[in-house]
Amino acid sequence: MADHPRSYRVRLPPRPTSVGRARKLVRRSLSNVGRSDLTEAAELLVSEVVTNALVHAGTPIDVALSLQDDGVRVEVADGSPHLPSRRSYGPAAGTGRGLMMLEQLVDDWGVVAEGDGKTVWFQLDGDPLAGAATSADPPMHPQSRPGRVLAVRLLNVPLLLHAAWQQHAESLLREHLLSRLDEQAPVDPIQEHADAGDAMAILAEQIPKPDISDDPDELMASAIEPHVSSPQVDLFVPAASVANFEVLNSSLEAAIALALQGEFLTPPAQPEMRRLRRWLCAEVSAQAAGSLPTPWPPDTRELSVDGPLDLPGWDPSRVRESPEAMIAADDTSRIVAASRSVLDLLGYRSPEDLEGQRLVSVIPRRFRQAHLAGFTMHVLTGRDPLLGTPIVVPALCADGEERLVELVIRSESVAGRALYLATLVAVEG
């Protein structure tokens, strides 16, 4: 039997075909040494890691295999300094599963920062399903990267809104990239995606993520202002990355337009999410040019959602004629029906005064960030700590006063869209 090399290395271009070439290298190498038992898991994992390098770095990708007596070590290096971090996505999301698979299938894995780039490695020894993972090395702070770094000061940062925006934007960008791979465009969509991803990673690495419990009582106590905002966040942006924030803004504007047309699985963002993204990107660009910081929010106008109110196949009379105090809202967070009892409870004269408004119109301001973030995460990932659970909350009445109510929310599907029904009972006290 002929001897075969014990190590292989290949440099791949930042193109979709590189994923298949990496899989082929793994399959052939393991077959040569009689370790076909590892092939399925190794191919799956190298596909995920190379795909992540492809869409987040946009640089040449180096794949190396080291065949050992007890298994195989695979290394995937790219030119992005941003280390991977785990996200939580819903079953319909097209992204976010790479690290989860590493943790579940490998015997060991890690990340090594090297100059302007990084190497993600994993080790498979025996049965892939019996592996245990170690945690990756901590990410580099941008100040430790070579080159000039600019300090950007963000004021009154909505931390909870940003955390939800990050996951929603990642899903949108991934779908936007996939929709453009076959286009003959003047700008390489993979490079554009990588540039946008660089800007998002800088924000994700440096803007703190609030620790919010899934317990309904703890959630209602902690997910309110001022606990979910930070008076100041100092952002350190490599000078070479400043232009990427403009790419991020324009890429998401284009992705949102397609999502609004129903082209993507990812739903359109709430208006506040779009405004947050525009503010973040504008602050980096403006402060890099010498402007002073502008606090969030940049204006106080109420935001609306475009599109028809009706849900095909759903009869709003079941809510409007209910003897209970009920509100129905669609998956854009707009009120589509309200009963006479809820109008009386909140001080509205007619259904037209409330229907068509967004749910934030009946939510006190200190709770709005939690509502927007929670609504976004529910639509994106299915996270639903409050559904079906009676909670006591203040409701905002038409005259601006607050009234304490016990609220129960449930959801149902109508023609493939989500509908949310809330029943309110006044709490005397």
Residue ending a domain, choose from 248, 273, 288: 288
Give the relative orientation of helices 365-381 and 159-180 as an angle to the nearest 10 degrees: 30
Q: Which of 139, 158, 183 is the last residue of a domain?
A: 139
Average pLDDT in the 306-326 region?
Answer: 82
Burial 161-183 (b: 16+ CB within 10 A, else e): bbbbbbbbbbbbbbbbbbebeee
Residue 367 within a domain: yes
Euclidean distance between CA atoms 77 and 115, whole angstroms:
11
- Whether residue 305 is contained in a domain is answered as no
- 249, 337: one domain: no
Residues 117 and 164 in one domain: no
The answer on 191 and 176 residing in a single domain is: yes
Give the separation between CA 298 and CA 119, rounded to whole angstroms. Answer: 39
Q: Which residue is listed with tokens 């190298």? A: 46
Do both 86 and 178 map to the same domain?
Answer: no
Statement to judge: residues 65 and 155 lie in one domain: no
Residue 102's pLDDT is 65
Q: How many Cα atoms are found within 13 Å in the side-chain-facing hemisphere of 272?
A: 27
The answer as to whether 307 is a domain residue is no
The reply to whether 224 and 159 lie within a common domain is yes
Domain identity same for 206 and 226: yes
Same-domain status, 12 and 55: yes
How many CA atoms lie less than 13 Å away from 378 in the CB half-sphere?
A: 22
Does 299 map to a domain? no
CATH code where residue 18 lies: 3.30.565.10
Residue 383, domain CATH:
3.30.450.20
Name the residue among 320, 299, 324 with its Cα closest to residue 309: 320
Over residues 83-94, the mean pLDDT reads 50
Which residue among 139, 167, 183 closes a domain?
139
Q: What is the pLDDT of residues 204-247, one digit of tens each?
A: 989 998 776 666 556 556 677 778 899 999 999 999 899 999 99
Confidence grade of residue 147 (pLDDT, cut at 50, 70, 90): low
Same structural domain, 128 and 244 = no
pLDDT at residue 50 in the model: 87
Q: How confident is the model over 60-73, as pLDDT tens digits?
A: 999 999 888 778 89
pLDDT of 300 > 60? The answer is no
Instruction: Say if 308 falls within a structural domain.
Output: no
Asked whether residue 283 falls in the same domain as residue 338, the answer is: no
Domain boundaries, position 16 = 7-139
Yes or no: say if 370 and 228 are a contact pair by the CB < 8 Å rule. yes
pLDDT at 282: 96
Does residue 105 lie in a domain region? yes
Q: How many domains does the chain have?
A: 3
Looking at the domain assignment, is residue 1 inside a domain? no
- Cis ω on the peptide bond leading into residue 267 (within 30° of 0)? no
The encoded tokens of residue 59 equal 């640089």
Q: Specify whether 335 is located in the same domain as 400.
A: yes
- For residues 174 and 272, state if they share a domain: yes
Domain-embedded: residue 229: yes
